[in-house]
Amino acid sequence: MNMINVLIAGATGYIGIQLTKILAKHKNVKIKHLCGNSSIGKKISYFDKSLNNKKLPKIIKFNKKLLTDIDAIFTALPDGETQKISKLLLKKNILIDLSADFRLRKAKDFLKWYKNKHQAKHMIKKSIYALPEIKKNLIKKYSIISCPGCYPTSILLPLIPLINKNLINNKNIIIDSKSGYSGAGRAVHKKYKDKNLYESLSAYGLASHRHNSEIQQELDLNTGKKNKFQFTPHLTPMFRGILSTIYLDLNKGVTQNMIISYLNKHYKNQPFIKIAKADTFLSTNDVINTNNCIISVCKSKYKNKIILLSSIDNLIKGGAGQAVQNMNIFYDFNEREGLSD
């Protein structure tokens, strides 16, 4: 059995904890190092009691010497930090990044949307935007695997196939997404301290939300078309989960059944994409603690329109699970390993 050594940088955040839990049960993985800044010397079980019975290293500060005995580095760090680590990579290392550091193909776009200069421009060409169901055959060619954001994952999976098949009007896409507050990281509790986070629903970001750039880039690159959409994210008083509601105009002659049939055909061999029966009302409860994306195609009151529902667990399919799925693909492990329902 092939075994690899992994390091997790940013192990104590919501995503880092979820990564640790998945990798700790992965039969091809040994967690060699857990790295953090403010919790050095602590056990990871301090942050999640379910890890009490796992033999895991204590949290240490990252340094480049740690990379000598590591195969895969997972980074769940604040934006900009993974760029620094990318310049330290050895030939044997692959970097699987869950931040936004390598999602955008142009350094100028990173500056525009993240208000910081990219510190590793020369490494962008070594990276791939790794939405596994779309890029599966290309992932092995890159040493930096950039995992998509949580909102874009729920949005791109249903849209890319439909635009490619010319089934929908790609100039009038309206996306309404609602996420659990864990998507904003641990700092969300301080940021929303006076805004009743646990009992209110908040729209935010709108045209300025950073995931706009990621969605636009990937829709255009993967369809070869200039696409137009409106994206409104919301923070909800639940811990985890995303439900995206996408309003679409059908192209002439296209029906709801044709959309469902094509999505089923397109994702037939993709283990984590589930196409629901027509007009199924989805809940985030349908996907919590799984690496699944469930897509439902629903009628509109207008004949030439449909409503798509797309639901994922933002910490798994929108984060740690997708990262492990990409690792499994890279190393030819069973794609489901560590990620079974």
Report phi then psi at 118, rounded to 5: -70, 130
Token pair in block for residue 306? 């449909």
Q: Which long-range contacts (CB under 8 A, 24 or more apart) does 329-332 make?
A: 329/132, 329/136, 329/139, 329/140, 330/72, 330/94, 330/139, 330/140, 330/145, 331/2, 331/4, 331/28, 331/72, 332/2
Q: Do 57 and 31 touch, CB atoms closer than 8 A?
A: yes
Q: State CA 31 to chain mean position distance.
A: 21
Annotation marks residue 150 as catalytic: yes
- Candidate list 35, 147, 150, 293, residue with the active-site label: 150
Q: Which long-range contacts (CB under 8 A, 24 or more apart) does 108-112 make?
A: 109/213, 109/217, 112/213
> Between the CA of residue 183 and those of 2, 110, 295, what are the distances in Å?
33, 20, 20
The residues annotated as belonging to the active site are 150
